[in-house]
Amino acid sequence: MKDFDYYVNLDYEIKLRKLSDDEGSGWFAQISLLPGCMSDGETIEECLANLEDAKRGWIETCIELGRPVPEPGKTTSDFSGQLRVRMPKSLHQALSEKAKEENVSLNQFILYQLSRGIGYKG
């Protein structure tokens, strides 16, 4: 049975970054897989300790409310690679025209632009 200890001991990916002076300095960390699970601290160690507390609280709340707790390790096989997007007709037209200029399909042009937008090196 998957209980609190099971989830707390999973290897969640942590994103860590240094805060600018405008942001208050120190460090910021988050677990993207657990929306809203984030913390900060003056040092990396303090930041990560605070994030561990936040993770424990996040998981505990999910369990108490009967909500599913996301688990790390999802692979690309969990995704179909297909997506349906609605957009204004004017945007559709602009994208189509740009794809024609590049001599590629609309699908390939959009895929390329989305990849560039998130820095995907694929």
**Residue ranges of domains in the chain:** 4-65, 81-118
Between 96 and 78, the higher pLDDT residue:
96
pTM over 0.75: no
Q: How far apart are the first and last CA of the chain?
A: 36
- Output the CA torsion 36→42→24→55 (10° steps): 0
The mean pLDDT of the chain is: 89
* CATH architecture of the domain formed by 4-65: 2-Layer Sandwich (3.30)
Rounded Cα gap, residues 97 and 83, in angstroms: 21
The fold of 81-118 is Arc Repressor Mutant (1.10.1220)
